[in-house]
Amino acid sequence: MSYLLLALFFLAAVIFIFNSHYRWTYFFAIALFLFFFGGMTFFSGQWQRGVNFASILFVVLMLFHRLKIHYYKQPLLISDFLLVADWRNWETLLHYKGAILAIFGLIGLLVYAIFGWADADVLPVSWRILAGGVSAVALGLMWHYSRHPHATKVWLDSLPDDGRDVFLNLPMSCRGVFFSVPNFSGDGQKFHEKMTALFAQKANFQGETKPDIVVCLQESTLDPHQFDFDQQTIPPLSMFEKQEETVFMSPLRVHTLGGATWKSEFAFLAGVPSTDFGALANGVFYSVVPHLTSGLVKNLREQGYFCVALSPFTKGNYNAKSAYDHFGFDLMLQPQDLGYPAPLGKNLWHIGSDEMLKYAEMILQKQHPLLQHVQQPMFVYVLTMKEHGPYHTDTPNHFNLVKDGLSQKTIACLNDYTQRIMALNQATETFYRYLKQRNTPYVFAYFGDHQVAFDNCLPPKLRQYANPDYVTQVVVRSNVPSSFTQQQTFLDLAFLGGLLLEIAGLPVEDDFMRANIAMRILSEGKLEDAEAQSLVNDYRHYLYQHLKIAR
């Protein structure tokens, strides 16, 4: 029976290798198998245990990879193990109840991989040394060829959201565990000249009073009117419509789908997309943020702002508190700090967006001991959570949604989702009225951090973009007198910080933020969607090789 299981697991590993999509995957998969096999055989002296370990580990990695794609629509990379290793993230990782059983199953397989065949005969020392040599050579070959230009190109072309070959992803992304400054081909001097010419023609308006700035990251939020239904009775949602004090609104390019909210946080707060950092994109809050030298919050701090982050998640979740400190925030608060009845160590998955914005009001009113003596203008950054999945699959079809190809479960989930967005709309408008009645200058911005999959399905969208599943929306409302007029009809999330500085009438003296604003104007709000890729390369070369915004 033991040999039968061994043969089945080995056959599964061979099938996984055979079904690879790229020729480089065959090389890395075989080398990875030999590395696992040789290493276990060297330490245990049991070749059966080595085959068992390598085969089952291949099965575990493949299933873990499929699990991540199912729930997060992203491939498995080495940086994901950094997230899993941090116990503070476990509640989030297991939020999807259907994943819990699968995780326990994978752990069971891993235990059998380690301890299976522990009673097999031990090989002579010479064979163990040979096995260790095979493992070392396999590791050396993977390390050497992970730098091969063609292998790198094949791998990067498969990312960020396809990455079907996990046995190519893992060895290639190992180098990404070690931070290195992104290196882009381009001419930074050429971009600097364009930026200088642009600002020579551009009037630099500066307001008399610095407004309070409130930015709301709205979890999993897309205007449900953007879905391409054959029939629907979704009511108008005013938060997505142009109103009297709307100074900017447009579709928004984000850099994640179905999860990984921290990627959108990073793009907004850092002013560059996580995709600039390749394999480190999934772990930017751990491994990239400490290396940044600029960003929106640091600019606001230099201009006298007191900066507060309000999150429904714990301070340790996804390394948030440490990342916010590096970004420059003066204070991170949870609703529990402001009176919400729950332990500080609990993630608030179901807190209403109306409640989150009520606590934002309390921050503006200085209703916390650490805020009572603050006389500065405030920047308040709020994250909502109620719009996050999973969604109820038994919700009635309240909005008469009809679309060929969508299952009844997906339709039910979309109804649940729409109800949550309607509640978000009411919360947003209530908070907006609060800001207006204060009779003080304000800038209020809100954006959807990513789209969401329903029942593992992405409903079609009305608008046609190169990557429609990576487009949400952004709205900025303000009562600040300004010469600002909207010029862009599309915006990359990495440009939102510079946009807010302009709308607020704040002086922009930081070289990075000046470049951020200039690029938004020169590229019509686009970055990854820009038609002139030479301009994008020049801009990135200017940021990383001239300004050295990451060190």
For the segment 421-454, what is each residue's pLDDT rounded down to a tens digit? 999 999 999 999 999 999 899 999 999 999 998 8
Rounded to 5 degrees, what are φ and ψ at 376?
-85, 165
Mean pLDDT of 171-189: 78
Q: Given this model, what pLDDT does residue 207 score?
A: 66
Q: How confident is the model at residue 275 (pLDDT cuts 50, 70, 90)?
A: confident
Mean pLDDT of 196-206: 78
Q: Given this model, what pLDDT does residue 290 score?
A: 87
Which residue pairs, CB below 8 angstroms and at least 24 apart, start in 390-397?
A: 390/95, 390/96, 390/97, 391/416, 391/417, 391/454, 392/416, 393/455, 395/419
Q: Given this model, what pLDDT does residue 75 score?
A: 75
| Residue 174: exposure state from Cβ atoms within 10 A (0-12, 13-18, ≥19) | middle
In 3D space, the residue among 352, 508, 483, 366 whose CA is nearest the CA of residue 425 turns out to be 352
**511 near 545, Cβ under 8 Å?**
no
Report the half-sphere exposure of 206 (CA within 13 A, side-chain side).
5
Lowest mean pLDDT among 24-33, 356-365, 441-450: 24-33
356 token code pair: 């989150």
- Is a pLDDT exceeding 80 seen at residue 79? no
Mean pLDDT of 145-168: 75
Mean pLDDT of 496-514: 93
186 token code pair: 């381009």
339 token code pair: 């009176």
- Is a pLDDT exceeding 60 seen at residue 161? no
Helix (H) or strand (E) holding 173: helix 166-173
Q: Given this model, what pLDDT does residue 475 score?
A: 97
In 3D space, the residue among 183, 185, 175, 382 whose CA is nearest the CA of residue 287 turns out to be 175
Q: Given this model, what pLDDT does residue 148 score?
A: 81
Mean pLDDT of 105-134: 89
Q: Given this model, what pLDDT does residue 86 score?
A: 64
Q: Given this model, what pLDDT does residue 463 score?
A: 84
- Is a pLDDT exceeding 90 seen at residue 518? yes
Mean pLDDT of 165-187: 78
Q: Given this model, what pLDDT does residue 160 score?
A: 55
Q: Given this model, what pLDDT does residue 288 score?
A: 86
Q: How confident is the model at residue 96 (pLDDT cuts 50, 70, 90)?
A: low
Mean confidence (pLDDT) of the chain: 88
CA–CA gap between residue 243 and residue 477 (Å, rounded): 8
Q: Given this model, what pLDDT does residue 240 score?
A: 96
CA–CA gap between residue 338 and residue 333 (Å, rounded): 8
- Is a pLDDT exceeding 90 seen at residue 73? no
Lowest mean pLDDT among 30-34, 67-71, 319-323, 504-508: 67-71
Q: Given this model, what pLDDT does residue 177 score?
A: 61
- Is a pLDDT exceeding 80 seen at residue 282? no
- Is a pLDDT exceeding 70 seen at residue 71? no
pLDDT higher at 297 or 101: 297
Domains of the chain: 2-177 (no CATH), 188-267+306-546 (3.40.720.10)
Q: What angle do CA 72, 78, 79 make, to 5 degrees?
A: 70
Q: Given this model, what pLDDT does residue 66 score?
A: 82
Mean pLDDT of 377-403: 93
In 3D space, the residue among 508, 506, 507, 518 whose CA is nearest the CA of residue 542 turns out to be 518
Mean pLDDT of 370-379: 93
Q: Given this model, what pLDDT does residue 205 score?
A: 63
